[in-house]
Amino acid sequence: MSAKDLSAFLANAQTASGPAPVALQGLIAQVAEVCASIATLVAGGALSGALGSRGTENVQGEVQKELDVISNDLLLNGLHGSPNLSGMASEEMDDIHPTAEQGPYLLLFDPLDGSSNIDVNVSIGTIFSVLPAKGGAPKTEHFLQPGSAQVAAGYVVYGPQTTLVLTLGAGVFVFTLDPASKAWLQVAENVRIAADTKEFAINMSNMRHWAQPVRAYIDDCLAGKEGPRGKDFNMRWVASMVADVHRIVSRGGVFMYPWDKREPGKPGKLRLMYEGNPMSFVVEQAGGRSIAGDAGRMLDVQPTQLHQRVAVILGSANEVTAIEGYA
């Protein structure tokens, strides 16, 4: 495969229903351009004033890092005038953000995923989801579409390389930001997640809070070859969803952030619209599976709130199916 830049890829990109519309091409290019700017801030760290806490809280009651707010503002300001957009919603904002135009798409994003890793120089990222607009001035209910309605989704990992992983509904493609030219160059196409794995990603410190089926599954993994799974597993946990999921997209595995009894009224901690749906769209397009705990396929969940939480289990298809068997 000869390397081509993102614009050349988009010009010939396919969606589930045919060639990518010009407006969708333009929107993805704009999101990628803003993410390149975020990458520069991340790389600068303390030199760019991007470290430390802002001292404020977002709508979920989480303390915001400086880079959370800066990244959110960059996306809002960079895309507010886009003719391709009607409105935006962010994990960091209480309400939707109508844009200057009434374009054909809605954009949802987690501007800076993995905030706890910012100050310790560990991989973090941006997650985004594109939905069709409903026409007219955007309303909150226009955003409450199931993940199966997404026309595009992806994430950017700010790590040793800055990597964009993208799906338009017809496969998964990977791009690396060239630090010299600032161009996004394609480095992989039609990525597939291995159906079987010996690797899982979960925060083991929460084990005492999990429901019994999840504990039983992890116990069986830890039992190794002598246990009921008949193989030795490795555990990986970065505490940055983009980094953990990117490892799975790259070499297989399962990522789990299940319900736990500390907040029994909530199905999980992660956000359906900003994390669960876009990551699940990518994973499914790469041949993996994603479920919302015991609520079935993630992309079939009907959202009822803009900041709805969800249990997340995704990754290698056969392993997700095995986990379902513990319910």
SS3 of 15, please?
Answer: strand
Query: Was 294 annotated as part of a binding site?
Result: no
Query: Was 114 annotated as part of a binding site?
Result: yes
Q: Are the C-beta atoms of residues 176 and 185 closer than 8 Å to each other? A: yes
Instruction: Quickly list H helices, 48-159.
Output: 66-79, 140-143
Query: Was 115 annotated as part of a binding site?
Result: yes
| Chain centroid to CA 314 | 12
Query: Was 129 annotated as part of a binding site?
Result: no
Query: Was 275 annotated as part of a binding site?
Result: yes
| Chain centroid to CA 115 | 14
Nearest CA to 87 out of 169, 27, 8 is that of 27
Terminal-to-terminal C-alpha distance of the chain: 43
Cβ atoms within 10 Å of 324's Cβ, excluding its own = 16
Query: Was 196 annotated as part of a binding site?
Result: no
Query: Was 5 annotated as part of a binding site?
Result: no
Between CA 191 and CA 279 the distance in angstroms is 14
Tell how strand 199-201 and strand 254-257 pair up: parallel
The one-character DSSP state at 260 is B
Query: Was 319 annotated as part of a binding site?
Result: no
Between CA 64 and CA 114 the distance in angstroms is 11
Question: Which residue numbers belong to the known binding site for Mg(2+)?
Answer: 91, 110, 112-113, 275
Question: Which residue numbers belong to the known binding site?
Answer: 91, 110, 112-116, 203, 269, 275
Question: Which residue numbers belong to the known binding site for substrate?
Answer: 113-116, 203, 269
